[in-house]
Structure 1
């Protein structure tokens, strides 16, 4: 019997132009524009550290300074060789779930 996906957050908990990190689920949820919610892996593609902040339009890894765009996960700066992989998120009745 299928289980319901776990709710990560409500849509109002994710700021426009920012995001939130959910380390236990290995995901970052961003809202680059009003009503657009995207999911990315929270594991930096450089050395596997968990990213630590979402601010100023970027997702940041403090281990070695890599930064990724909240719009597509692409590398903005630092040593990361690849973008953050996308993770599927769904929005239902104001709740964001992984999957």
Structure 2
């Protein structure tokens, strides 16, 4: 199964080191291929360096593409991180 969804970075600090680490930890629980990108670049969602290189700030629209057997669960968890501001209470 292949899923694609867009979401926005809503936490104040953007996709910084701690948020990227949470995203990689969540993505690593799934066997599906996970790609996350902006308008200009797409990276492996299981790579902390790739995610940090996106330099996604608050308000950036992210495209999440997940392909594999557990794509639905992975998409639910990853979009949830964005929607919950990576559990950052600002």
TM-score, scaled to structure 1? 0.28
Structure ID, larger Rg = 1
Higher helix residue share: 2
Higher strand residue share: 1
Higher RCO (C-alpha under 8 Å, 6+ residues apart): 2
